[in-house]
Structure 1
Amino acid sequence: MPRLPSPTPAQLRRDPLPLRGRTALVTGASRRGGIGYAVARRLAAYGAGVYLHHHVPHDAAMPWGADRTEDVVAGVREALGDPDAPVVAGPGDLTEPDAPADLIGTAAAALGGRLDILVANHALSGSDGSLDEIDAAMLDAHWAVDTRSVILLVQAYARLRTRLPDRTPGGRVMMMTSGQDIAGGMPDEIAYGLQKGALASATRSLSTALADLAVTVNCVNPGPVDTDYLHGDAYAAVESHFPAGRWGMPDDPARLIAWLATDEAEWITGQVIDSEGGCRR
């Protein structure tokens, strides 16, 4: 194969809408304080059509509560770089075995029959504990949401991509891990940390499985992000670990994920990438 030429000056200039004409599904994008919402806004700002998956009952049961879906959609639509790119939202209970495949089909249909980018951002909060506290039900609940549903989403996404012409560009999968492999791990969230670790471990295998479809697969650890779940002294204690003197904000990992979705990142796959802000642990 001949060596690829160096980029021309025109190619070096960044397209302000690098995702124009492409489509994305972002799971777990049900509230404006979350990472999924920030990711969706970045993708929309880059020109992508976006389908926002939500499971409002989960957030409604949490201390932070749920947003109105129409407010979430309005916030993403506000960020549109391409006014012709659609923004659609729909529900899905990913604890159900058939829900991931149904969601992929629904999102693709809503976005014109094609899905280029999958950002599996959803996760189960709560229902966890230390080694002494966890039980089979906690482990099973986190497995179903945090790991099984993600793998089934990737499977359904890959099957959809096989219907496109050979090696259609722009295929991207981004999964979310956590800080389970850094410093002291997550001893008080054994079930969550275990299942997030499984996704990180599967990243390279999935990237190999999807390589022939010209799809990259990467896993992002967003680090401690202020999604309005911690306050007071505990918040200040985390903040003190960062040289910048602040928590990560949802848009910090969103910028990384949006960049991974562009053609600039087409040579990056099979990686677990930390967005940690230089944390001093």
Structure 2
Amino acid sequence: MPKLPHPEPAALRRDPLPLLGRTALVTGASRRGGIGYAVARRLAAQGASVYLHHHVPHDAGQPWGADPQGPDGVAAGVLAAAGDPGVRVLHGPGDLSDAAAPAELISTATAALGGRLDILVANHALSGSDGRLLEIDAAMLDAHWAVDTRAVILLVQAFARQRAALPARTPGGRVVMMTSGQDIAGGMPNELAYALAKGALASVTRSLATSLAELAVTVNTVNPGPVDTDYLDGDAYRSVADLFPAGRWGMPDDPARLIAWLVTDDAEWITGQVVDSEGGFRR
């Protein structure tokens, strides 16, 4: 095979809509304070049509609560960021603790977006139902495994199956998973079930990347570090902010910018990587 030449000068210029015509599913995009919403806005701004997955009962049971405008308000905010009038933003529910839900979600999103899904951003996670080593039980471990690990692997599996039905090596296939830096410094001893489930995704990243390589699909995992998603305030909030060189928390758009780049053609040579996006956080 001949060596690829250097790109022509025009190819080096930034495309304002690098995802124009592409389609994406973002899971866990149920409220405007979260990372999923920020990712979806970035993808839509770059030209992608987006299907937003949500599970409102989960947020409703958390201290931060569900988005006051509901899924329609979240979708409207994403559509407002669209970089092209042809961008579509759709949404639907899904309880990913159900083993059948991931494949159903991929099928629903694929059909809603015109029969092809290019990008999967598995951003959802189970909050709560956790503790330290002497506090956790089998139910906590199973709950986090089902949502944070099993559901992600089944989503990737269903995504790979629909990509395999496309012409060989169709470009644009991207998977991004989310982890939480549980392998860095002191780990997450206060959230052991969550750390275990998310750590499994980091560990399997390279194996999944190898599995999907023949489909020309890249697989990467992002650790966004501490991000202000409206779950902490007061002195505790300020003490965490002081651990960043910038003197502030990460905001949802910080990891969203990285993820939005990873799913473009500029990042087609990046696969099998766990990328820390922590802003220099001092653990």
> What TM-score, normalized to structure 1?
0.99
The total of aligned residue pairs comes to 281
- SS for the counterpart of 2:90 is strand
CA–CA distance in structure 2, aligned partners of residues 231 and 210 of structure 1? 41
**Structure 1 segment 1-281 matched on structure 2, within 5 A:** 1-67=1-67, 68-281=70-283
- SS for the counterpart of 1:254 is helix
Report deviation, 1:87.
0.3
Report deviation, 1:50.
0.0
> What TM-score, normalized to structure 2?
0.99
CA–CA distance in structure 2, aligned partners of residues 52 and 153 of structure 1? 14
CA–CA distance in structure 2, aligned partners of residues 181 and 230 of structure 1? 23
CA–CA distance in structure 2, aligned partners of residues 203 and 82 of structure 1? 32
Report deviation, 1:234.
1.2
CA–CA distance in structure 2, aligned partners of residues 66 and 279 of structure 1? 29
CA–CA distance in structure 1, aligned partners of residues 112 and 84 of structure 2? 17
CA–CA distance in structure 2, aligned partners of residues 82 and 111 of structure 1? 15
CA–CA distance in structure 2, aligned partners of residues 212 and 72 of structure 1? 35
Question: Which aligned segments of 4 or more residues in structure 1 are displaced greater than 2 angstroms?
Answer: none
Q: Percent identity?
A: 80
Deviation string, structure 1 residues 104-129 (Cα, Å, up to 9, x no partner): 00000000000000000000000000
Instruction: Please identify, of 201-210 and 178-187, the stretch whose mean Cα deviation from structure 2 is larger.
Output: 178-187
Report deviation, 1:95.
0.5
Report deviation, 1:60.
0.5
CA–CA distance in structure 2, aligned partners of residues 15 and 179 of structure 1? 32
**Amino acid across the alignment from 2:220:** N
Report deviation, 1:280.
2.0
- SS for the counterpart of 1:210 is helix
CA–CA distance in structure 1, aligned partners of residues 80 and 104 of structure 2? 28
CA–CA distance in structure 1, aligned partners of residues 14 and 246 of structure 2? 28
Report deviation, 1:100.
0.2
CA–CA distance in structure 2, aligned partners of residues 249 and 225 of structure 1? 5
Q: Structure 2: any 5+ residue segments left out of the alignment?
A: none
Report deviation, 1:236.
1.1
Instruction: Please identify, of 177-186 and 259-268, the stretch whose mean Cα deviation from structure 2 is larger.
Output: 177-186
**Amino acid across the alignment from 2:125:** A
- SS for the counterpart of 1:201 is helix
CA–CA distance in structure 2, aligned partners of residues 166 and 85 of structure 1? 26
- SS for the counterpart of 2:157 is helix
CA–CA distance in structure 1, aligned partners of residues 43 and 135 of structure 2? 39
Report deviation, 1:237.
1.3
CA–CA distance in structure 1, aligned partners of residues 62 and 280 of structure 2? 30
For the aligned residue pairs, the C-alpha RMSD in angstroms reads 0.5
CA–CA distance in structure 1, aligned partners of residues 184 and 236 of structure 2? 19
